[in-house]
Structure 1
């Protein structure tokens, strides 16, 4: 399971990196285009699409690193095992909510197959996939957190090991 988590973590990091690179290059093209004449129309759309992919790949990573909005101030003030229980409950609710929303997100993706973007004429299911992907990454990283807490006996706090490397 830890090997699977490592693979998924690496895929998401690469996904964020590639998406961000596309975003940077597109914005650079847009700025240079506006500086010297007019920017290509497709840069507006591609910028939005790249940002959606950054968020889709990065949501699970943010959950893992603790960069998502948290209520640690409240949770860490309760006595005993309650902080651990609340972190476990939070991860379980995240799994349940994502599992509930994934079928609707897939329907949203499938509707996009019948649409195209105006400037790039890109099939919108490729863009709408980001909503599905975001839910999947949150679900998977929440399952990994639950596994680490229940099976490996970890405390469920954010993983800050990457910051030390």
Structure 2
């Protein structure tokens, strides 16, 4: 289980890093173009948007594991006994259900994009729309791994990096 989570974390970090590098490159071209040439290429606007979408698509599952998603830790962690574990478990199950319910609509949304192209880059829009499918799939897998880990006792479901934790 830990090996699978480590492998997925590496994949998500790579995807997040590549998305961020593309974003940095596109914005750099925009800034240089506007500062020194007077205008920037039109495709940089679209590429920036697409990179941001993929950054969210890859980064959301990482944020679930690290505790960087919005949590109500003040409530759940202050509960007595096993209640905090039950709230974390219920939260992971609800995220999993939410993602599972939205996968098919996201698939249809992505498929519709195959019939459209972006105006500046001429890229088929299913590549942009696929970022929503990616986000739901990765977040769903992360929630599923958390649920399995909590059920098997390999994790207590707490985020890896709680604010204030000393490492």
TM-score range, shorter chain: over 0.9
Give the aligned CA root-mean-square deviation in angstroms.
1.6
Alignment-derived partner of residue 81 in structure 1: 82
Q: Does residue 33 in structure 1 map to residue 33 in structure 2?
A: yes
Q: CA deviation at 1:144?
A: 1.1
Query: How big is each residue's C-alpha offset from its partner over 1:32-64, in whole Å with a ceiling of 9 and x where there is no partner?
Result: 000112100000000000010000000000000
Q: Does 1:4 align with 2:4?
A: yes
* In structure 2, distance between residues paired with 1:139 and 1:86: 18
Per the TM alignment, residue 160 of structure 1 is displaced from its structure 2 partner at its CA by 2.7
Aligned to 2:132: 131
Kindly state the Cα deviation for residue 149 of structure 1 after the two structures are TM-superposed: 1.1
State the alpha-carbon separation in 1 of the partners of residues 76 and 152 from structure 2: 22
Unaligned residue ranges in structure 1 (runs of 5+): none
Q: CA deviation at 1:84?
A: 0.2
Q: Return the alpha-carbon distance in structure 2 between the equivalents of residues 107 and 18 of structure 1.
A: 26
Find the aligned partners of 2:160 and 2:124 in 1 and give their Cα distance: 37
TM-score by length of 1: 0.95
Residue pairs, 1:87-106, within 5 angstroms: 87-106=88-107
Provide, for residues 108-155 of structure 1, a one-character-per-residue CA deviation record: whole Å limited to 9, x for no partner: 000000000000000000010000000011111111111221102532
How far off its partner does 1:85 sit?
0.3
Residue 46 (structure 1) aligned with residue 55 (structure 2):
no
User: Structure 2: any 5+ residue segments left out of the alignment?
Assistant: none
